[in-house]
Structures are given as C-alpha cells and as structure tokens.
C-alpha cells in the first residue's frame, strides 16, 4: 500500500486553513518548510514522513481503516514540523535538508508564528477524525498527542538546559531523549492502534514499541555521530565530537574520567583530532556500551511489537521499517 | 461571587504538570511569568485574568455551573500567556508589568519553550472538563479554542507583516485586530455559554458580544494611545505616535494624505512633537472617527449581549465589566 501520496494530500488539506488572502505569506512559510514550494522544493526536502507512516501502518496492522486515521497522521507530522521550526531558531541552524530554515528566510518573529501555527493546525486536524470516530476516541487521541507534545517540549527544554551542565548522567540522557525523540514516535504507534480499534493491552504494547524504538533510533544516531562513516572519514567536522553534543557515548566517556574526559575538558575539538579521539573513546568502552544499549532498546521494541502482534502486510512493513530505522548506516 | 481565587488555583493546578524534578526550571519560568514567583511577584504582576472572568461570568449568566467550567477558564488564560511570552520575543520587549520578560531572563530559546509549554498545557486543561461535560461538548470547546488560537496567530503574523507596509487600509486593520484582540475574548464568551449549556442562538450571541467587545477595547486602546492622559501629558514617549504603531487613528490620518501624513512620512516622531501632532490628527478628523468607531463597536457588543440575555448577578457583573473595558481612561 502506498500511503505517502494520501499523507501528503491530507497535510496539504490541513495547511489550507491558512490559505487565505490576508495570510498568504504565513501559508507560504508552511508550504516552503514542508518542501512543497520555494527553491529546491522536491520530495527529498520533505523528510520521510516517518511518523505518519508509523501511525497508519500501526492502524492497518490492527486491522483498522487507515484512511479514517489520515487526519491523525497529518497531525503528528505537523507536530514534528512545529518542533523543527522552533528547534532551528533555538539551535541557530540556518540550513535544513540543504535549504534555508524558516527563520533564516523570514526572520525569528515570523518563524515563531509559523511554528505556533503548525502546532495549532495539528490540534485542529485531530477533530477531523469525527465522524469516522466517536468524540470519546477523538478526545483520547487528543490527550495522547498533547501528552507527547508536552514531553517533546520537556525534552527540548532539557536539551538546551543541559548545554551549560558538565555533570550529566546517563539518567539525565534518558530523560532528555525520552521527550525529544521517543515521545512522538510512541504517540504515533499509540494513536495508530487506538484508531485501529485495538484493545487497551495492544495499545500499551504499541506505545512501548514506539517508545523503545525511538530510544533505539536515538542511541544508534549517537553511535553514527561518532563512529558512522561520515563522522570519521571525510566529514569529521560533522562529528558529535566537534559539535560538542552530549550524546550517549560522550556522556559514557566523561563518566570514565580517563584520557577522553581529560581532552574534552580542555575545550573544543578540532576535526583533525576526530579519528584518534573516536578510537580513544572506543578503547574506554563507549563504543561497545553504545552498541549494546542500542541493541537492548531494539530488543525491547521488538518484544513489545511481538506482544502487539501486528497483522498482514502492514505488520510486515512495520517490522521492516523498524529494522531499517535502527540498522541504518547514515 | 469571587471567582479570582478559584481561577488562580485552577491555573496553578494545570501548570503543576511540569512541576517535576527534571523540569523545575521550566516550571519556574511559567510561575514567574504568571506572577506567582520571582522578584516582585504579587497580584499586580499577574494581570487581571479578564479572559477567565469573562468565561466564568458568561457561564454563570447562562445559569451554568461555573465551577465545572474552571478548566476552560484556566485554558484561555494559558493561551493568553503563551501569546504574551512569544509576543515579547517578537517585539523585543524586555519588560512586562515592570518585570523582566521571560526571554530577557532566560534567553530566547527557553522562552520559546516556555510559550510552547503554556500552549500545550492549555490544550490539556480542556480535557479536564470531563467528566463534568460529555466528550462531544469538550470536543466543541476544543474546536472553539483552537480556532481562536489560529486567529490569534494570524493576527500576530499580520501585526509583524504590516510593520513593513506603508499602505495599510482600515480593512487591513480589522483583519489584524480581529485576530490579535477579539478572537480570544470572543472564544471566552462562546466557551462560557457552551459550558453554561445554552442553546446555539445564545452561544452565537455571546460569541458576537466577545468579538465586538474585543474590537471596541482595541479601538479605545488606540484612542488612549494618542489622546489618553498619559500619552499626551508627561509620558509623550509612550504615545503611539512615537512608537510608530499602525493604530486606527494613524491609519485614518495617513489615508487623509494631509499635514499629518506628510510629517509621518518624514520619519520618527520626537516626544516633543506629540501634543501638536495629536492635535493635528484630531483636526483632520481622526479623533472623532476613532471615538465613533469605538462607540459603534460597543453598541454592537451591547446589542449582542441583549440578545444573549445574561441572567442574575453574573449577568450584571458581565455588563459592568464590559462597560469598564471600553470606558477606561488608561
């Protein structure tokens, strides 16, 4: 089943609420960010729409009618993009997928509005689930999405808050990534199973699946950020060692208080030092620890998925997508 | 009936969702902004909680149980404060009610998160209306609030967008203030009557009442911004003539293309010029036009309120609050 064209159409339909004479530019900011308009707009600049795909596949794997769930699929993608627009302002990032970010193009004040608008549109989208679902189910969907959004903002807060701290523990790391990466993916799977009319135990299993998959994804991402091909060879400037990001292997290495921690304390790391320092970190056990943690989270995700018992072709696609997410090489 | 302590308690209860070990500082940003903590925290720094008051008075004036509507009262105040936090970033305002603004104290990235968090908390608050109300009523409440939020963001977008334009019409002005000022007040009255279990015609009348009252409030505010006591005598630096804000009398004056428009085109206005220029604007008809427009909007609000037919002591309080809002001198 090719869900993507239907997802794209539904997001466009939701965004169209702002396609009015007075707010043409606000609408344009959103269509630009979503990869539909402006310079270099093409499918590659749109992102993979992973979250709506997880939602719809989960719905189908519960024998639900995925077409009725499309407004929720649009809602999760809108939430994701609200957070990206505000994130780019907060991180002072002027490029995303090779294009100028919204704030770089229209300024910070209007970029804040564009993010706010996307978030409101996501809330509105959910109510289009009526009349396909009862008001009670829609309310439960809204509660799931709101909880995820609050966790997302919590994670975003912690990410910035941690920048000034030097004594981060692995527990601090889990608090941050549970919000920043896992909360929305978990909500996608919870929403998909809710809208697939599955029972509470199945919903809980899908919710855990999304949560652990989100954690596994992030830990694997942290692994690639230091030992991935592009982080070591050629693009050392993109290594997490250079950006100074508190990723899992770095927090682990700092906790060891060895040569790596000593070098880290001395100040910013130059790209030339990256291969040597990545090796040092591996010698101190961070590579093995990160790999094992990613595997552990993947196992927990897959255990939850087995309990959820996804059905049919959608179930197979869901398993395959989850595997790709935690086995990717870049 | 003294609603304020109950409103305060309910807002505190909603904010408490973030009162957790890892997010202490995020919670603190919100309690500071809401006037409960930090330097100079006292009732004067809290704002008047006008929006929750309008909501609860409307609910009572429809013979509804205002206590059941408290989560919605908290929600509208949270929305208002979400917009203030983001607004202060967008306007580069470092003071609000005599205190540092959130971004001035914690930086722009965390202030964006604080605003986002308030907005999400407002959405969550509404679902606490269950079990006092059916899921269908709660869904209708959420749709009303979401629509108001989108209009609020539209208005905020236009306010910034208009800064660069020089050919604003009075129609442009209405588009902006309908969103920025009237949308949320209208939603408060609509929500109050919905939660007071009134019929659709009454809800529509309250919705119009809030809309026109919001417009009357803004036009009166624009009047005071040029001819109010503090704008002319003593605090000329606070005149809208100096800040260059496109308020109704200024847009009217520019449309006349006379001496006022000529001076405006020459560049920023010095506080010393304010009394003379305010007189010139009055001579060109802007004072009378603004006063008449405010009266007209007030009349429309009061007509709608008569149709809504508010009952009892709450009804009288509602009429009095509306009158105070459009007759205030500062």
Other C-beta atoms closer than 10 Å to the C-beta of B72 total: 31
Give a yes or no: residue A36 inside a domain: yes
Residue A235 has pLDDT above 70, yes or no: no
**pLDDT score for A327:** 84
Alpha carbons A277 and A259: distance in angstroms, whole number: 9
Q: Which helix (H) or strand (E) holds A139?
A: helix A135-162
The reply to whether A206 and A149 lie within a common domain is no
Interface residue B168 vs chain A (CB under 8 A): no
B286: domain CATH number is 1.10.600.10
**pLDDT score for B66:** 97
Q: What percent of chain A has pLDDT over 70?
A: 98
**Nearest-neighbour CA in chain B from A85: distance (Å):** 11
The reply to whether A133 and A8 lie within a common domain is yes
The pLDDT-based confidence of A231 (bands split at 50, 70, 90) is: low
The reply to whether A32 and A109 lie within a common domain is yes
The reply to whether B15 and B76 lie within a common domain is yes
Alpha carbons A179 and B50: distance in angstroms, whole number: 34
The pLDDT-based confidence of A89 (bands split at 50, 70, 90) is: very high
The parent domain of residue A58 ranges over 1-159
Residue of A nearest to B161 (CA): A110
Residues of chain A contacting residue B18, judged by C-beta atoms under 8 Å apart: 150, 154
Give a yes or no: residue A298 inside a domain: yes
Whole-complex ipTM: 0.95
The pLDDT-based confidence of A166 (bands split at 50, 70, 90) is: confident
Residue A233 has pLDDT above 60, yes or no: no
The reply to whether B191 and B216 lie within a common domain is no
Choose the final residue of a domain: A159, A181, A209. A159
Choose the final residue of a domain: B197, B213, B240. B197
Alpha carbons B166 and B163: distance in angstroms, whole number: 8
Choose the final residue of a domain: B149, B181, B197. B197
The reply to whether A213 and A324 lie within a common domain is yes
**Contact state of A113 with B149 under an 8 Å Cβ cutoff:** no
The reply to whether B22 and B164 lie within a common domain is yes
- Which of A16, A18, A20, A22 to probe by mutation at the B interface, max B CB count within 10 Å? A22
Residues of chain B contacting residue A153, judged by C-beta atoms under 8 Å apart: 26, 113, 116-117, 120
Give a yes or no: residue B265 inside a domain: yes
The reply to whether A329 and A225 lie within a common domain is yes
Residue A230 has pLDDT above 90, yes or no: no
**Nearest-neighbour CA in chain B from A282: distance (Å):** 30
Interface residue A128 vs chain B (CB under 8 A): no
How far from B117 is each of A182, A269, B139, CA to CA, in Å? Answer: 18, 34, 21
The reply to whether A33 and A125 lie within a common domain is yes
Which among A109, A130, A161 has the least Cβ separation from residue B139? A130
Give a yes or no: residue A18 inside a domain: yes
The reply to whether B5 and B94 lie within a common domain is yes
Give a yes or no: residue A168 inside a domain: no
Which among B116, B146, B149 has the least Cβ separation from residue A86? B116
Alpha carbons B224 and B226: distance in angstroms, whole number: 5
Which among A110, A119, A175 has the least Cβ separation from residue B160? A110
**Nearest-neighbour CA in chain B from A71: distance (Å):** 15
Interface residue A79 vs chain B (CB under 8 A): no
Count of domains observed in chain B = 2
Measured CA angle at B111 (ends B105, B114), to 5 deg: 120
Low-confidence ranges of chain B (pLDDT < 70): 1, 230-235, 330
Residue A232 has pLDDT above 80, yes or no: no
**Do residues A129 and A74 make contact, with C-beta atoms less than 8 angstroms apart?**
no
The reply to whether B169 and B237 lie within a common domain is no
The reply to whether B66 and B175 lie within a common domain is yes
Give a yes or no: residue B314 inside a domain: no
Give a yes or no: residue B106 inside a domain: yes
């Amino acid at each position: 089943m090719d869900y993507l064209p239907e997802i794209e159409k539904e997001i466009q339909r939701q965004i169209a609420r702002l396609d009015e004479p007075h707010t043409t530019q606000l609408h344009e900011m959103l269509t630009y960010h979503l990869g539909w308009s402006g310079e270099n707009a093409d499918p590659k600049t749109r992102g993979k729409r992973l979250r709506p795909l997880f939602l719809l596949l989960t719905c189908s794997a519960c024998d639900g009618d995925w077409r009725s769930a499309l407004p929720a699929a649009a809602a999760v993608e809108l939430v994701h993009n609200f957070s990206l627009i505000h994130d780019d302002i907060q991180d002072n990032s002027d490029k995303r997928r090779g294009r100028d970010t919204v704030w770089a193009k229209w300024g910070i004040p209007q970029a804040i509005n564009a993010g706010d608008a996307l978030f409101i549109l996501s809330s509105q989208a959910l109510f289009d689930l009526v009349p396909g679902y009862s008001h009670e189910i829609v309310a439960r969907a809204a509660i799931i999405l709101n909880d995820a959004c609050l966790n997302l903002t919590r994670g975003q807060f912690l990410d910035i808050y941690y920048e000034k701290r030097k004594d981060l523990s692995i527990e601090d790391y889990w608090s941050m990534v549970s919000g920043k990466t896992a909360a929305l993916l978990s909500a996608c799977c919870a929403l998909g199973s809710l809208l697939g009319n599955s029972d509470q135990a199945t919903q809980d299993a899908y919710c855990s699946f999304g949560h652990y998959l989100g954690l596994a994804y992030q830990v694997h991402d942290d692994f690639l950020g230091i030992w991935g091909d592009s982080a070591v060879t050629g693009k050392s400037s993109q290594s997490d060692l250079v950006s100074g990001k508190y990723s899992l292997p770095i927090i682990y290495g700092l906790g060891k208080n060895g040569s790596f921690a000593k070098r880290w304390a001395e100040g910013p790391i130059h790209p030339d030092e990256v291969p040597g320092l990545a090796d040092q970190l591996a010698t101190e056990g961070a590579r093995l620890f990160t790999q094992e943690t990613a595997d552990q989270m993947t196992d927990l995700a897959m255990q939850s998925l087995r309990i959820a018992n996804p059905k049919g072709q959608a179930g197979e696609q869901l398993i395959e997508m989850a595997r790709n997410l935690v086995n990717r090489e870049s």
